[in-house]
Amino acid sequence: MGHSSPTATRSRSLPRLALLVSLLASAVAVLSLLLAAPASAQTTPTPAATPGTGDISTQFTIGGIIQADGEPVEGVEIAVEGSGFSEIGTTRSDGRWSVSVPGPGSYTATLQVDTLPDGVAPRDPDNVSRDVTVGTTNTVNVLFPTGEGTTVTGSIWDTLFSRFIYGLNFGLLLALAAIGISLIFGTTGVNNFAHGEMLTFGAIIFYVFTSMGWNLLLAVLLTVALSAALGWTQDAVLFKPLRKRGVGLVQVLIVTIGLSIVLRYLYLYFFDGGTRNIDTGITENVTIGPVTITLTSLISMGVSVVMLAAVAYFLTRTRIGKATRAVSDNASLAAASGINVDRVIRIVWVLAGALTGLSGVLYGLYRGVTWDMGFAILLLLFAAVTLGGLGSAFGALVGSLIIGIITELSTIVIPPDLRYAVALIVLIGVLLFRPQGVLGRKERIG
C-alpha cells in the first residue's frame, strides 16, 4: 500500500531526465561558442611587428593604439621589458605599435612621455606603466589613454573630480551585479559565491558575439537573454531541488563555492588565461570639465542608470516586484497570503542573471575580458551588498556607489593596487558603528 510502483517512479523521473538533457544541450551550445572565440579573434588583423623584434607568426606580441581625441598619434615610443627582455616599440603612421616578446610571461609596458607630441599628454601622468601577462594568445593589447594638454597635472580639485567620475562609473556597473546578489539573498537567504562567474559569463559571451562581427545592440540583447537563462538554469537544476530537500544554508553556501570553482576553470579551459579587449569601434573621447572620459564609458554609465531606474520601478510599482519585496521581508507570511514563493524566487534568479550579465558586458568594456574577472571583484560585490544592508536592493545600489567612488579616490594617495583593500577597510569601519548597513534594519537576535 505505502510503496510506489516502478512505473510511477519512472514517470516522475522523466521530467528530471528531460531537464538534465536540455541543460547538457545548452551547455554544449554555449561551450561551442566559447571554443569559437579564439578562432574568431585570429581573424582580426594583428599589428605588424617592430623591425628587428622577430617574426610575429612565431612570437607573442604586446601592442596597442595611441590616440588623442580619436585621432592616431605618430612617433610615440613604448618600452616593453621583463624576464631579461628589453625592447622599444614605436607607433606607426596609423598610431599602432607592437613589440614581439620571447614567449608567455610577465612584462611591463611603459609609455615614453617625452616622445608625445606637443599638446598631448597621458590622461593619468602618474600611471604610465602597465603590467602585462602574456598567456596563450598571440597578441595582448595595452591601452595608454591620452588627451590634449600638458604633462603637468591639474589642481587637486580637478584630480578629485576626475576620480569621482571614474568611481561613479565603476560603482554603477558594480551596482547592477550587487543588486542581483541582494535580491537572491533577500528571497532565499543564499549568499551565492558563484555570482562572479555569472558576471564573467556575460563578458565572455558578449566578446564572442562582437568578435564574430555582430551588431552591438543585438550582441547585448542576446548576452542579457543568455545570462537570464543561466540564472533560470541554476535555480531550476540546482537550488530549487536543494530547497525542496531542506538543505541548510551552510551546505548551500558550500555548493555555490564549488559551482564557482567549476565554472571558473571551465572558462579558463575554453577561453584561456589571456586578456581580451572588446572592440566596439567607438574611439571618441568626451571632455567634462577637467575630466576626459571615453564615449564608451559614458554610454555604459547611461545604460547603468536606465537599468537601475527600471529595477526601481519594477520593485516599487509592479505586482511581481511588490511580491518580491514581500517574500524578502517574510517568505512564510507571503506564502500564507497567496504569493507563489517558488515563482517569485525563479523570477529573481532570472532578473539577477540578466543584470549581472549586463554588468559583465560593461565591466568587460571597462577593463577587458579575462577568465577570472568576476571572481576578482566578487569581494567588492559582497562588500557593497553588506555595506548597503543585506537583502536591500536599494542598499546594494548605495553600497556599490560608495565602494566605487572610494576605490578611485583612494588612488590619489595610495598605489592603485591597494584600492580594493581600502574599500574593505571602509566596510569594516561602517559595520563597527552600524552593523545593519546603511539602509539595513536593526533586528533582534535571540
CATH of the domain at 270: 1.10.3470
Q: Poorest-confidence range of 139-153, 245-259, 273-287?
A: 139-153
Q: Hey, what's the cell of 353?
A: 542573471
Residue 109 has pLDDT above 80, yes or no: yes
> pLDDT tier at 419 (50, 70, 90 boundaries)?
confident
pLDDT computed for residue 100 by the predictor: 78
Beta bridge partners of 13: none
Q: Is residue 115 situated within a structural domain?
A: yes
Q: Rounded to whole angstroms, what are the CA distances from 86 to 80, 83, 126, 127, 240? A: 6, 9, 22, 20, 55
Establish if 88 belongs to a structural domain: yes
Helix, coil or strand: residue 92: coil
Q: Which of 61-65, 127-131, 219-223 has the highest mean pLDDT?
A: 219-223
CA 442 distance to own-chain centroid: 32
| Amino acid 393: pLDDT | 84
Cell of 25: 544541450
Q: Are 125 and 113 in contact (CB under 8 A)?
A: yes
Residue 187 and residue 332 in one domain? yes
Look up the CATH number of the domain holding residue 114. 2.60.40.10
* Same-domain pairing of 173 and 103: no
For residue 160 the three cell numbers come to 578629485
- Rounded to the nearest angstrom, the gap between the alpha carbon of residue 324 and the centroid of all alpha carbons in its chain is 25
Q: What is the mean pLDDT of residues 7-34?
A: 44
The reply to whether 52 falls in a domain is no
Residues 6+ apart with CB under 8 A from 408: 163, 164, 166, 167, 170, 419
Please report the pLDDT score of residue 116 as a whole number. Answer: 81
* pLDDT at residue 353, as a whole number: 95
What are 385's three cell numbers?
Answer: 551588498
Residue 360 resides in a domain? yes
* Beta carbons of 87 and 80 less than 8 angstroms apart: yes
Q: Please name the residues in contact with 280: beta carbons below 8 A apart, sequence gap of 6 or more.
A: 210, 216, 296, 365
User: pLDDT for 36-71, tens place per residue?
Assistant: 444 333 333 333 333 333 333 345 778 888 877 667
Going by the DSSP 8-state scheme, the letter that residue 117 receives in this structure is P
Same domain flag for 218 and 132: no
Indicate the average pLDDT of the chain.
Answer: 79
Lowest mean pLDDT among 114-128, 192-206, 244-258: 114-128
357 vs 348: CA distance, rounded Å = 14
253 close to 236: Cβ distance less than 8 angstroms: no
Domain match, 367 and 238 both: yes
What single string gives the DSSP state of each residue in 29-75? HHHHHHHHHHHHHTTSPPPPPPTTS--TTTSEEEEEE-EETTEE--S
For residue 433, the model assigns a pLDDT of 82
Pick the last residue of a domain from 132, 153, 174. 153
pTM: 0.67
More confident residue, 54 or 270: 270
Question: Residue 316 and residue 311: Cα distance in Å, rounded?
Answer: 9
Per DSSP, helices labelled H in 99-246 are 156-188, 195-211, 216-234, 240-244
Residue 8 has pLDDT above 50, yes or no: no
CA-CA distance, 78 to 44, in Å (whole number)? 22
Q: Is there a domain that residue 35 lies in? A: no
At residue 136, the pLDDT reads 58
Identify whether residues 116 and 189 lie together within a single domain. no
Q: Please check whether residue 351 lies inside any domain of the structure.
A: yes
Domain boundary among 91, 124, 153: 153
C-alpha grid cell, residue 251: 551546505
Is 54 inside a domain boundary? no
pLDDT-derived band at 240 (thresholds 50, 70, 90) equals very high
Q: Are 135 and 171 contained in the same domain?
A: no
Same domain, 389 and 304: yes
For residues 118 and 231, membership in a common domain is answered with no
| Range 137-140 contact pairs with CB under 8 angstroms and sequence separation of 24 or more | 137/38, 137/41, 137/60, 137/272, 137/274, 137/276, 138/42, 138/46, 138/56, 138/60, 138/61, 139/46, 139/47, 139/60, 139/61, 139/62, 139/63, 139/98, 140/60, 140/61, 140/62, 140/63, 140/274, 140/275
The packing angle between helices 249-271 and 6-41, to 10°, is: 40
- 262 shares its domain with 193: yes
Residue type at position 172: L
Stated length of the chain? 446
**Is 442 within the bounds of a domain?**
no
Count of domains observed in the chain: 2
Domain limits at 402? 158-433
Work out the average pLDDT over 6-18. Answer: 43
Which residue, 153, 173, 201, sits at the end of a domain?
A: 153
Give the whole-angstrom CA distance, residue 271 versus residue 30: 12
Q: Give me the mean pLDDT over the 254-268 stretch.
A: 94
DSSP type of residue 417: G
Residues 242 and 381 in one domain: yes
Listed residue (365, 362, 360, 388) closest to 375, CA to CA: 360
Better pLDDT: 21 or 344: 344
Same domain, 358 and 425: yes
Claim to verify: residue 186 and residue 138 sit in the same structural domain: no
Q: How far apart are CA 370 and CA 364, in angstroms?
A: 8
Percent over 70 (pLDDT), the chain: 78
- Confidence at 138, pLDDT banded by 50, 70, 90: low
